Amino acid sequence: MSVEKLATTTNDMADAGSDLNLEGTMMTNGIVAQEKGKEQPGKTYYIDIEGSMHEWHAPTITVAQIIVLGGWDASAGVIEVDQDNNERTLAPDEVVELKPGHGFAKKIQWKRGDSLFESRLDEELALLQTRYPGSSRVGNWFHLPAVPLPDIGWDRQSTDVVLRVQPSYPGTEPYAFMVPEGIRFKGQIPDNYSEPVGEIVPFPGKWGQFSWLADNGQWRPAKTVASGSNLLNFAIGVNVRFMQGK
């Protein structure tokens, strides 16, 4: 994965409604299990567990230790999330080697139909619609129509934006966003952008993808959408990326 651009972030996401006019809430290039200092015994690692950073002083960690740090019941299990947001369920007795770009979250079992997950996504959509009217959702994909672009060299005045969340959301933070294929900045392909995407997007058209995610520990979701990190915060961070230009 290429190195993502940097954005700014707000530290207080406790009241998403009052933050709607704040334009910078996200940072990119999150590094998990980041080593501090040179290669030597006793070095410190930083482990991302559901958006919170924990110091660790060994190159490996057990599933039981992850659960203790995360503070959830052992019956929930643990998933490992790599730097491309791919998920892997860990065995209860597994010992994990810490790697840059990898984080951990509880394994959430969602019920079909009227589930907590579906309710959460409906609430996320309602919050997005307060700033991006006409936004819609298909499953865990969100479509934001005609997002204005700054007049600094983009080849269009506005663009549709697609966001996607993983089944373990909000424990697993959103990664990347998509725009209609062909976007250019001053005639050039933007940095950290690729097209076409290698998956089926449930909205019409062809799509390209910008790499983008929250920096170390900035993604801090809560039980309610408005009291912690949410997709509106992430979408505002997308605006910050557009302000950066190429």
Give the pLDDT confidence score for residue 76 in this predicted structure.
80
Give the pLDDT confidence score for residue 3 in this predicted structure.
36
- Residue 221 DSSP SS3: coil
Spatial distance between the Cα atoms of 217 and 201, rounded to a whole number of angstroms: 29
CATH 3.30.750 fits 34-106, yes or no: no
Cβ count within 10 A of residue 94 = 16
Q: Does residue 8 surpass a pLDDT of 80?
A: no
- Average of per-residue pLDDT values in the chain: 81
Check residues 102 and 115 and name the one with the higher pLDDT. Answer: 102
Give the pLDDT confidence score for residue 41 in this predicted structure.
52
* pLDDT (average), residues 84-89: 77
Residue-range domain boundaries for the chain? 16-29+111-243, 34-106
Spatial distance between the Cα atoms of 207 and 205, rounded to a whole number of angstroms: 7
* pLDDT (average), residues 37-59: 76
Give the pLDDT confidence score for residue 12 in this predicted structure.
38
pTM confidence score = 0.58
